A and B are shown apart, each in its own frame.
Chain A
Amino acid sequence: MKQIALVTILAAAAIALPLIIGENPYMTGILISVLMMAALSSAWNILGGYAGQYSFGHAAYFGAGAYTTLILLTNYSTLNPLICMAAGIIVASLIALITGTIVFRLRGHYFGLASIAVAEIVRLSVLNFEFTGGAQGILLSDISLWGLDLNSKNPFYYGMLLVLAVTLGITAYLRTSKTGYYLMAIREDQDAASSLGINLSFYKNKSLVISAALTSVLGSLYGLYIRFIDTSAVLDLRLSIEIILTAIIGGVGTLWGPVVGALLLVPLAEMLRSNLLGDALVKAGLVSDTSAFGIFLKENLAHAHVLVYGIITVLCILYLPKGVLGLFRRTK
């Protein structure tokens, strides 16, 4: 009962947030990034957290959604974006099924390695083919859906929020459903699960396809929102790692872990990117503005957010392997 009340309050706050902050594209943009990363990481969590299959190539599904949608829309501008999104789901699911069929017979390190190989094949193919725009990427000029003003950011805020809600709903449902129990059994002990008659590769594939389909919807939304995509934005290994890192920091295999992770990581990345952190250090008098170190920080901190991600990953694995939520659970 308490939980339902809490979720209702959270949902109401999330729905009302754009009205409270009003016309502030910068803030809305950051909120959209938070929602997107939370949803991406939650979708990954269904496979990585519950089935215990760590995918290091989720960018492939994100990119599949973004590219399918934008390629279709640039060629057939009258198409409904939702149909393009559905096409993206089909492409992403196919990639997922091919990967799953090849590697889910195997155990151990193979799925992780194969997921990267598949993501690289997708990335390099997109880069080398012509219909995908190659290294130049794809620019989408204009879109319309039901007379919504898609030049404003609010529709995308609610779109991302909806996908996040659906993803969390599926996760919550899985936790108490037969499929969810099977997945957790597979995660804990494959042999035991198998000997109880659980079809390992069927359930692993099932969770992979659900996860890939949700990820591809987010990719489509992102493509429609930014309207320019290239391989470094939507297919890079870095994106796959950010998705995992978000889940790890929040807590893998927990319902709210990915959301907590996104709330912590995305604003941090934004602060580094816009150099707010460097400015803050200078203002706090910790670093002199004119010293060599101060100048170095000012010039380079904006490029250092991946470095900071690396440091956070290492610290997190060594000292906080169960994530922030795991920390609270331990003290209980």
Chain B
Amino acid sequence: MSFLQPLLSGTLTGGVYALAGIGMSLVFGVMNISNFAHGDLMMLGMYLAYFAFTLLHIDPYLSLVLLIPTAFMFGFLLEKLFINKVINHPHQNQILLTIGLGLIMSNTALLAFTSDPKILTTSYSSSAFNLPGGISISVPLLLSFLITCVIIAMLYLFLSKTTTGMALRATSQNREAAQLMGINVAKMSAIAFGLGTALAATAGALIAPTYYIHPLVGHSFLLKAFTICVLGGLGSVVGAGVGGIIIGVVEAMSSTYLSSDWKDVVVFVLFLAVLLLRPQGLFGKKGGQS
């Protein structure tokens, strides 16, 4: 019976990871850029939720209404000011630029918020539903998961039904062809990066009530997001969704059956195993291989 507990809580956490992974995958798909600042954008989302709660007394889940547009604008500006300058550079330069931006964000946060970890405690932080069989579901995790599902559904509708969404997908499939069809690919890049930032920040805010908040926390999320993207297939949004859940479950299982110290190692070994056995990922198109 104890098997179900990590499966369930892993799935719930994995949902939030999926959100971060989808954000990264979207940026990768549309712009062909690995965004190394993704984890730090998540960290900023955590702090935004924290300060909205402690200073303005807004519930972290309600604060999303403000946080999502703010993060989108921030990402949109980042793209306009920095990222699009290197869009035709070799990807090493793109990676280094995003690493630099990430370092600026995390170390500015370190100066501004100090290195003391913060904890966001809401009235329902430690409450849980008890199911028969000794399984318990944490309320904040469940709420985060449900919100994640709503956001993913909205994103799905946006990508498949709206003109902008279709233009984004077209750019992702073939940048040149999309441009020839009259799609403003520069604008699509900025929108994709804005969406990616908004999704990262949302994932950060959703995980904030159940995680410690620290300026350098982004680094571990970044690697998780990469693992999720590679697992699902770089650039595949559906793959990133499934990959997120898998990573969440693997993490929870290895904490339960191995030790929580080793859970990240298990995730990275899984990452290497995917590269070795199925480099195009679970849902990726073939072609990543040389």
Contacts and interface: CB of A to CB of B under 8 A. Distances in A.
Interface residues of B, number: 42
Contacts of B211: none
B143 interface: no
B111 A300 contact: yes
B107 to A, nearest CB: 4
Interface in B222-241: 223, 226-227, 230, 234
Contacts of A107: 288-290
A303 B110 contact: yes
Contacts of B103: 241, 306-307, 309-310, 313
A7 interface: no
A318 interface: yes
B275 interface: yes
B265 A313 contact: no
B93 A237 contact: no
Q: Bin the interface of chain A by size.
A: 35 or more
Contact of B100 (A200, A237, A310): A310
Nearest to B265: A124
A318 B96 CA distance: 10
A313 B99 contact: yes
B92 interface: yes
Contact of B290 (A117, A121, A200, A321): A200
Interface string B209-231: 00000000001000100110010
A106 B288 contact: yes
Nearest to A314: B100
B86 A317 contact: yes
A116 B268 CA distance: 9
Given A106-B289, A120-B223, A321-B89, A303 B97 contact: no
B184 interface: no
Nearest to A99: B272
Contact of A109 (B91, B219, B227, B265): B91
B104 A310 contact: yes
A127 B260 CA distance: 13
Interface in A85-126: 102-103, 105-110, 112-114, 116-118, 120-121, 124-125
Interface of A: 48, 54, 56, 102-103, 105-110, 112-114, 116-118, 120-121, 124-125, 127-128, 190, 200, 237, 241, 244-245, 248, 300, 303-304, 306-307, 309-314, 317-318, 321
20 contacts: A102-B272, A102-B275, A106-B289, A108-B91, A109-B34, A113-B271, A114-B271, A117-B268, A120-B223, A120-B268, A121-B272, A124-B265, A125-B265, A244-B96, A300-B111, A310-B99, A310-B100, A310-B102, A313-B99, A314-B104
